[in-house]
Chains A and B, each alone.
Chain A
């Protein structure tokens, strides 16, 4: 057996818990597990779309052509009407899923904001690919700030239709995915001008390309916005209208209607959040799994990579180094928290949907707050973790053959898309302050996951931290509580000095609000983690508890300033937390390989040469570089350069 394969096998033997139990937890149920495995298998077995490092040598043009091929095969194998069914693909492909926006954003929007007739008119055509529709909300000048969008849709009473118009450069729709060349329709958000009055921003389903020739229609300017940091195959596009007429039926009319020349509103508009929720929930559910891919590569590689000799003259696996553990293990622990949270949120959002459809809006706000907090927290975490996994692999992490850069590129946009993280956090903070008021006035309105506001007194008075290692969750709660109270007080104080609420909010407490929302996200993850542990099979309870502890310790140590500032934690306690962390490292280190392999990614899905199931990193990369790297033909340009014999200027 190859020595590195042997090393991995040895490591696997040291794992003491049943891996399949964790696999069950990670993939929720049989159906989801099967879809994931099927997707991995299909892609690995299809030579035209297999993941391959040489893909990154190509120009964007070639990669896009490849993505069409992927789309073709995907359509043959998956039911795109069901997000669960195709979501795994997001995490396994090189590049992104070509119709993700159309299905995850436009279709839900159509369902929730359009009337049933409208949905029946367009909905089925999505499945046959007769319609691919971009979700055109963001403009060059405005992203998060939806109310200030500039595109106008003016109602023309004479012809009973709308005139869509882009009044300035900053009003050009910019960034919508799949707009560049794939879609023939777009769901355009525009300001409705009715009888000269601004009636707010509403969605319009607009045809932009011809159904047969796929050529751009007259009055529409559309195209791709150019290469980005990652996402090279995604055709993010721009879209401008020049007095473009669209029929009356274009406006999604579940909540606003123009009938007989009269404008009217119906029902509760809050429901429109629901469409955004689908895509955010997907982000939370899927992308931590990509971080898990990066962790799998990093941990396998750390076991096989040896550097510097020890006292016996044998080289150590780099995983043995404390500094390496410090980079990987806390992130591995958090990864489990993120995965569980993603599943729990999916359930929460589902539950909320059912309620909303029955016109019960009681859980809408809290779902929105939780979703926003975790979307922001997890998307940032995924990017950071991927980055640290890359750095932990030394030079090889930097190459695409490690598989990690691709993960980074495909997850990096999540931080700003679907609600910029900072804006998300601010909304969470606003909700937390609101909940704080509930706690004083009508405590029965406080939702379950926010019940810490009912225990503020208890939390603050519980000074007994004698055995701090068992009270990690309490510390998270304490930190959150203190932060919340401080922010509330700060706002009140500043408003007493004569500033308006808006001024205070924008200019004086921004930093504190962000950290408040982050503390909440951390605490929520902890709560979910604990739920999972208490429901878990006895055989994995122990390892899950260690992971949860490590997650808590790391989180507390990373953001200890609140606790320190308020004097809630002493020097000795901090010290013992640090020691606990090191202790947990030694406990988790031998289990690490089992923890990442519970995800069951095959080598193709990891798109890696250095973190394969059987090790052999150097052999694999050497083989690929010498045999399959397409740039290794000597370009003429070098020979030109060499022949010229430039005389330097002196």
Chain B
């Protein structure tokens, strides 16, 4: 039975990838044309949408879409590398020789053909026909012969480059097919089920038939053309180079075949390493022996590196040990991809924290009262400042995820200092930053009030300018104007960046930012006129002293208004900022770090969840062996989609950081605010969607760990409670989605007028035509191509934005715009923002993965990317259906594809969470220990309520209970 299974696997493997790629590869022309048409289809899409783009820009588009070709390569995952270089050659040729008219001809033609065909195999034939039948005169489509040839050289070239290769390749294919059939026949006795044999033979048969058709067509065409064509073209110097390329290909091909056969034999000899070898053979860089070794090592990376750990886990003897061996990529490389230039810093910071006795995590801290905890974390904050360089902007973000509670003074680093840096003048920066870094003062960011959170314009605190003393007088006029929720303010801060409505001579100038000292820097007592304290215990965040602040005629000097943009002169003149949005600059920074945190928190949860699911075993199978719970589909369904989400959010965050840096650069260097709006919309919706996703994801992970997940010592609990405020702070999620909605609505209007809009919302151009499209896939394997999913999600986003716009137009007529916005269209607006976010995230994921060089990593990322998209569709299919993009059967295909992707990802799961690069201290979980049960018990015994003194007290209480009179 086992043997059958293995053979089947190996054959389905070579069926789908190896054979396929060899055939295509030998079929050089068809391959090329296939790729070309693919390229053209992309271009064509672009065309419809951007018909306003000038012809000169075509070249740029081509350039951009060439990168998409990589994607098509991922269709044939185990592809040979040289097809890439041949494409490059082709591309160069094309750019040099093709004129625009020819180009359009090609586009139309190939689109027509693309529509005809959908499935992988059949695809090659029409393209073949395309290449040899329809446009044979080689003028337009076939750029290889885009030069003028004379008759003789033409004949020579035709013979050498066309017919010879084709015939040889035909024979070659025949050989391959025969060999495969022979192998199948050799093992045919092993197959008891007839359908299996039939299935195995089906593929070679189809291939064979296809080839016969192709060859016949080819033959007839070529005969006809030989007779009819006249040639007076000149020879071009590119011709010889192509012949050479050809010859090289042939040789390589033969080598590949020989190796393949050799390995097939080897496989029989050693069943255990069969899969590994199969993978090795299929690697593109096969020709080089050294590379081969490298790939081999990669395959076994997990085994070699973790063999000790695994044997402790008892995992090594169990069935899934094969899974571990199969981890197909090097987690270190993946880690580099996730953290980019901060990779080493990330590891180093964790090491430093774990090594230090004060900063490292300790089980005994759980369950302490809040004041005690606060003390512990003050000490940690102090120690961390000694250990790490806090003037590095990356450090606070990295540090905060390492502890079960927040470290005191986080807001000082992430809000107070950056606000001054971005909104302060040079002089102010010089004055305030050094003492802040020195801890002579500790700051906080006082914006939210009791009555108003998201709605900044309605804040009630006032700052009145007094010309005589050159001071501002700050007041909290009502109870609801009390500053509330301000992190680090309750017990710690000495200063607060405070937002207040500015009045000069009774005139109102909007919300401005001030530095207010709230406590004495020596005695730490509140200053005169200031009432300050902690708001109370919360869901989590026990050490965070969220505070309140009331000011009664507090006077501060004029220099303490942050005046980089808006200014107040001595005489009381107000100079308005050029761009009011500048105040949001710090908010943006913080939202970006929240988005980073959605990734880190989810990753931590997953690292615990996935590792423990491989360890924990429940229910016996038929051999009487208990199975690790990760083998159960229901458990996979809880964890694997979240892994995909986690990567999506990670890459999304990297992209946002890039845009943020770009934005700040533009503002600082050129005073250019053009990116601000786009970035703001993006931050809003990503913050909302990612925080929700991580929040509910962590809850799911915790539940997937069964009872033990509920323990503090599982680690997940503190990650969850620490994370949960993210959904409401720094902009309540729903409000943020409404803001993105507003942006989308604006973009939609612009698009209708054909004005330029950001590339993220390009789908809004020609939205009505776009919405006519439909998904055409018919088999679940097609959904392994992210491009198909991307298009679907693009339609989905367009659909919801369109729906929102129509609804808004309808209701605005009825109720007036503001009323309609608030009371009647809210749900549609959030839907549009959500759909947009999903599409953007998916697209970013895709853009990231096609740039990855390492084949192994790219293929696993491609699967994750697809899963991310599919899960979104499955969770929320209504729009796809309502818009008519999908039908019921296709939805079912999607469900099947998801289950199939699970099987592809499962072997790499441990590797995928390993790539997050957390050390044990950062995960603070007993469940990832080498011996989780022992560790759980040990932590339990350390629990503070188990000490003898306390127990004695409880015993006496229990005794008293027994003595009270009962009803």
Contacts and interface: CB of A to CB of B under 8 A. Distances in A.
A235 B453 CA distance: 39
Contact of B826 (A326, A557, A630): A326
Contacts of A310: 818-819, 822
Contacts of B945: 60-61, 64, 180-181, 224, 235
Given A57-B371, A224-B946, A648-B438, A635 B620 contact: no
B367 A227 contact: yes
A395 B729 contact: yes
Interface string B818-842: 1100111111011000000000000
A308 B458 contact: yes
A642 to B, nearest CB: 6
Interface stretch (B78-86, B290-298, B503-511, B933-941): B933-941
A326 B830 CA distance: 11
Contacts of A322: 822-827
A215 B955 contact: yes
Contacts of A53: 536-537
Contacts of A629: 533-536
Contacts of B891: 561, 564-565
A300 interface: no
A616 to B, nearest CB: 9
B631 A646 contact: no
Contact of B437 (A408, A564, A635, A648): A648
Nearest to A581: B827
Interface string A51-67: 00111111111101100
Contact of A506 (B450, B627, B825, B944): B627
Contact of B888 (A182, A228, A566): A566
Interface stretch (B126-134, B386-394, B559-567, B661-669): B386-394
Contacts of B934: 169
Contact of A412 (B525, B541, B632, B710): B710
A323 B738 contact: yes
What secondary structure prevails in chain B residues at the interface with A?
Answer: helix
Interface in B608-636: 617-622, 626-627, 631-634
B827 A399 contact: no
A565 B874 CA distance: 11
What secondary structure prevails in chain A residues at the interface with B?
Answer: helix
B711 A641 contact: no
Nearest to A240: B937
A639 to B, nearest CB: 5
A457 interface: no
Contacts of B706: 143-144, 416, 420
B727 interface: yes
Contacts of B960: 72
A509 B390 contact: no
A462 interface: no
B880 to A, nearest CB: 9
B733 A391 contact: yes
Interface string B369-386: 111101100110110011
A67 B720 CA distance: 26
A622 B826 contact: no
A59 B439 contact: no
B494 interface: yes
B957 interface: yes
A231 B717 CA distance: 12
B756 interface: no
B966 A144 contact: no
B717 A307 contact: no
B961 A565 contact: no
A637 B936 CA distance: 31
Interface stretch (A26-34, A38-46, A134-142, A153-161): A134-142
Contact of A635 (B491, B823, B882): B491
Contacts of B347: none
A342 B729 CA distance: 36
B961 A72 contact: yes
Interface string A306-343: 11111100011000111110110000000000000000
A76 interface: yes
Contact of B450 (A77, A564, A618): A618
B173 interface: no
A311 B816 contact: yes
Contacts of A560: 877-878, 881
Contacts of B452: 307
Contacts of B937: 140, 169, 172, 174, 238
A290 B198 CA distance: 60
B186 interface: no
Given A75-B961, A565-B889, A639-B524, A60 B367 contact: yes
B734 interface: yes
By size class, the interface of chain B is 35 or more
B962 A59 contact: no
Contacts of A648: 385, 389-391, 437-438
A564 to B, nearest CB: 5
Interface string B450-463: 11111100100000
A502 interface: yes
Nearest to B712: A227
Contacts, number: 393
Contacts of A77: 967
A397 B728 CA distance: 9
Contact of B533 (A421, A511, A626): A626
A387 B727 CA distance: 11
A226 B965 CA distance: 32
B592 interface: no
B363 A226 contact: yes
Interface stretch (A13-21, A122-130, A186-194): A122-130
A266 interface: no
Contact of A54 (B382, B536, B727): B536
Contacts of A413: 710
Contacts of A362: none
B232 interface: no
Contacts of A265: none
A511 B455 CA distance: 42
A545 to B, nearest CB: 23
A632 B534 contact: yes
A78 B702 CA distance: 36
Interface string A597-630: 0000000000000000000001101101110011
A223 B389 CA distance: 43
A478 to B, nearest CB: 13
B369 A62 contact: yes
Contacts of A637: 374-375, 378-379
B369 A58 contact: yes
A253 interface: no
B190 interface: no
B366 A226 contact: yes
A387 B540 CA distance: 13
B820 to A, nearest CB: 10
Interface stretch (B249-257, B478-486, B779-787): B478-486
Contacts of A632: 490-491, 533-534
23 contacts: A60-B945, A61-B945, A76-B965, A148-B626, A169-B937, A180-B945, A226-B713, A229-B712, A229-B720, A307-B455, A395-B729, A398-B724, A405-B538, A506-B631, A507-B632, A510-B632, A510-B633, A513-B634, A621-B535, A629-B535, A632-B533, A639-B524, A649-B389
Given A144-B618, A631-B490, 8 more contacts: A57-B370, A60-B367, A311-B819, A416-B709, A561-B877, A565-B888, A567-B887, A631-B374
The 7 closest A-B pairs by CB, nearest first: A322-B826, A56-B537, A59-B369, A510-B633, A227-B367, A60-B367, A405-B539
Interface of A: 53-62, 64-65, 68, 71-72, 75-79, 127-130, 138, 140-145, 148, 169-170, 172, 174-175, 180-182, 213-215, 223-229, 231-232, 235, 238, 306-311, 315-316, 320-324, 326-327, 383, 387, 390-391, 394-395, 397-401, 405, 408, 412-413, 415-417, 420-422, 426, 498, 500, 502, 506-511, 513-514, 557, 560-561, 564-567, 571, 574-575, 582, 618-619, 621-622, 624-626, 629-642, 644-650
